[in-house]
Structure 1
Amino acid sequence: MRRNLSITLLSVGHGCVDIYQGAVASLVPFFVAERAYSYAAVSGIVLAASVLSSVVQPFFGVLTDRRAMPWLLPVSTLVAGVGIALSGVSDSYTVTLAVVAASGVGVAAYHPESARVARVASGGSHSAMGWFSLGGNLGFALAPVTVAVLAAAGGLRLTPLLVLPAVVGAALCLPVLRVLETRLSDAAKSPVTGKDDRASFVRLSLAVVCRSIAFIGLSTFVSLYATERMHDSKAAGTAALFLLYLGGAVGSVLGGALANRWERVRVSCWSYLLTAGSIAGLLLVPGPALYLFVILTSAGLYIPFSLQVTLGQDYLPSRIGTASGITLGLTVSIGGLISPVIGTLADRTSLQTALAPLILMPVLAWLLFTTLPEPAVPVSEDTEPKGEDTDAEHSSVRPGLG
């Protein structure tokens, strides 16, 4: 199977999983409307998905460092889908929390192993990893549209239909895993040269935490914020959330392209600095300009996204699964822990006041990135695809993701 086809299938599968991450925030306005949940209550639902992901995802990363577990991709995809599909079935807040949390476990199990599989399939291409990340961003972007269509047709009682993307995603990853079976096993056993740079990895992780707080805070409340700004229009809120995720798709591809020309650390630094200004514009500039700043903010937050994953893997070349679990899971999910704080502050003041501190998050991420070195590229004996027809770019890429 050609590398491009493998990455395409993995990307689509990634999108099918990340629909369920996006669906949590997308369901927030409908939980408020149909069940009269407060801002703090819906923040708790976001927290339910985030906490288990933050705790469990590094655990799955450690497991995949010890043993290849490609079967996790289809299984975790189905778990993520079933959890969200059941979220609208019961009026019980406890049941809703439980099934959303189960979905979070599925998402947590998927990402470390999928990052390892994508690393092997991509053969070290920044652009290929950017396309893999793009799939997840498109899944996020499709979530508010999908949820809005179902809710308009029949409300939360139609959420069981949301299991369909999980079925598609699980089916699409199977042929890739069959083709890559030998290389995945060899890659797990192959020795890697290069020393772990734990200090840089810690600073990188703190920067990802700052990004996570900004992104999850906005993804949880931007729909409600846009609804308030646009005269209580639910369509305006759905559009804002869609653009937040769609801009991320643009940012992921752009990040890979920019990293092919400049260093990943440099690209990430400039991206975070510019993002601070766009968040300020989102919150302070009146009128429909809100949507322009939503797109710029999303792109700015996602340009470094796939770059941070590969940087983490290169800072910890001997523990790729652990690095992926932390950069994709623990640090990203920590943002969900802040959502209840934002929600509580919004209940007492206003959404604009509660969201204003998010302007500082990309500034802190920028400061942390200014302290990071561009890591040396680790060499693994089996990272480079063998016997495959790949593009010209790939022929010049060294093993690893650096």
Structure 2
Amino acid sequence: MSRKILLLSLSHACVDVYQGAVAALVPFFIAERAYGYATASGVVLAASLLSSVAQPLFGVLTDRRAMPWLLPVSTVLGGVGIALSGLVDSYAATLVFVALSGIGVAAYHPESARVARVVGRGRHAAMGWFSLGGNLGFAAAPVLVTAVVTAGGLTLTPLLVLPALVGAVLCLPVLRALEGREPSTGGRPRGCDDVASFLRLSAAVVCRSVVFTGLSTFIAVHARQRTGGGVAAGGFALLLLYLGGAVGTVVGGRLADRWDRVTVLRWSSLATVVAVAGVVFVPGPALYGFVALASACLYVPFSLQVTLAQDYLPTCVGTASGVTLGLTVSIGGLASPLIGTVADHTTLQTALAPLALVPALSWPVVRGLREPGPPATVRHAA
């Protein structure tokens, strides 16, 4: 792994802390502000909604012109939004600041994925390390949020801006290395776009997103109910959900080296059905094992989906990254209020049960996909 990929991976970790922080804050919003399930899930929706629209737009912009300066700026914006969300009592103001953080995250991902492709010279392994950083950021979020907010309540959320400042600094050496070395188009490889396969892949990413977002929003509360534990029990479940993604990303790369990316996507979708069913229905401490398994299964195809999307749209790498990492992922946030509403009228377990069937829907979608040919090299831009 090159030094530039390492720095990008660490920067990615700092940014994705703020994606994970939104779900990690939900139990505290429920406890301190007496939010209902549907109201609390609206906070997650606020972070997802603007991001779902903005991320593909940023992808289109980066396809037209390289904008590496977005990396540090968007990182700080993501941190500032979360830092301010705990200082306001108004629900509307909370939504505004969480949405601001979502815009920062949206601006970061398409350009950072393009830069990772350039400095990694198009290698899948480099994208895997880059994605691993994001998974670690997700895993760190519940630990950081729980430690900070438990110590002094939501008024201490300004401390959560620190990862953003670190992440912005980590980007700078990579940006300096790129200055004057890449064309304004961002070094897009030549090739023919396979839009039909890209759309099918995007549908599979939506299915994965619905499951992961639904679990990440409510797993802390669900774990406390199923195990009879307190805040720590819920935080540990959320930590496993995010930390298992780091394992899944590494395993996914190894499996893709042995078989191919499309085959791994197919079988991971079926394995996820079993894992999520265990999360929903298994009581007691055994729940944690299924949380870790579900997380790994959900993240095995994650970096593979990004590189597949870029290979299906080789002339629009930024757009492919923006849709795969942004629009389709954020659409999963739209399901959270529905889950919360069902939980308010029944039980949380009943509301989460359909998530076990969603991964099966992606099986017929990815079954018809084929591994694309190797993309043209981006080495000239690196």
Structure 2 match to 1:151: 149
CA distance in 2, matches of 1:99, 1:43: 15
Does the aligned pair in 2 maintain the 1:84–1:99 contact within 8 Å?
yes
- Aligned to 2:283, the other structure's residue is in SS state coil
Residues paired across the two proteins, number? 382
Change (3 A) 1:381 1:227: closer
The one-letter code matched in structure 1 to 2:278 is G
Aligned counterpart for 1:354 among listed residues 351, 360, 376: 351
2:80–2:161: 8 Å Cα contact kept in structure 1?
A: yes
Answer yes or no: is 1:33 the counterpart of 2:66: no
Per the TM alignment, residue 21 of structure 1 is displaced from its structure 2 partner at its CA by 0.3
* 2:222 aligned with 1:225: yes
Q: Confirm or deny: 8 A CA contact 2:64 2:184 kept in the other structure.
A: no
1:128 maps to 126
- Find the aligned partners of 1:280 and 1:169 in 2 and give their Cα distance: 36
Residue by residue over 1:334-372, the C-alpha shift from the partner in whole angstroms, topping out at 9 and shown as x without a partner, is 000010000000000011110011111211122211110
Following the alignment from structure 1 to structure 2, what is the Cα–Cα distance between the partners of residues 286 and 339? 23
The answer as to 2:276 corresponding to 1:275 is: no
In structure 2, the partner of 1:9 is 7
The offset of 1:185, in angstroms, is: 2.8
| Residue in structure 1 matched with residue 245 of structure 2 by the alignment | 248
Is contact 1:10-1:132 (8 Å) kept?
A: yes
Give me the TM-score of the superposition, normalised by structure 2: 0.98
Query: Aligned partners of 2:378, 2:368: CA distance in 1, in Å?
Result: 31
Q: Residue 372 of structure 2 corresponds to which residue in structure 1?
A: 375
CA distance in 2, matches of 1:381, 1:140: 29
Contact 2:122 2:379 in 1 (8 A): no
Aligned equivalents of 1:107 and 1:53: distance in 2? 7
Residue aligned with 1:182, SS: coil
Mapped to 2, the partners of 1:101 and 1:320 lie a distance apart of: 25
| C-alpha distance in 2 between matches for 1:185 and 1:153 | 48
Deviation at 1:285, TM superposition (A): 1.9
Distance 1:111 1:178, change over 3 A: same
For structure 2, the 5+ residue unaligned runs are none
Partners of 2:378 and 2:305 in 1: how far apart? 23
Deviations 1:205-225 (A, max 9, x none): 000000000000000000000
Identity fraction in percent? 67
1:286 CA drift (Å): 2.1
Q: Which amino acid aligns with 2:327?
A: L
Superposition RMSD on alpha carbons, in Å? 1.3
1:12 shift after superposition: 0.5
State the shift of 1:268 in Å.
1.3
Out of 7, 18, 23, the residue aligned to residue 21 of structure 2 is 23
Q: Name the structure 2 match of 1:395.
A: none
SS of equivalent to 2:371: coil
Correspondences of 1:67-106 after superposition (within 5 Å)? 67-106=65-104
Asked whether the 8 Å contact 2:305–2:324 carries over to 1, the reply is yes
- Using structure 1 for the length normalisation, give the TM-score: 0.93
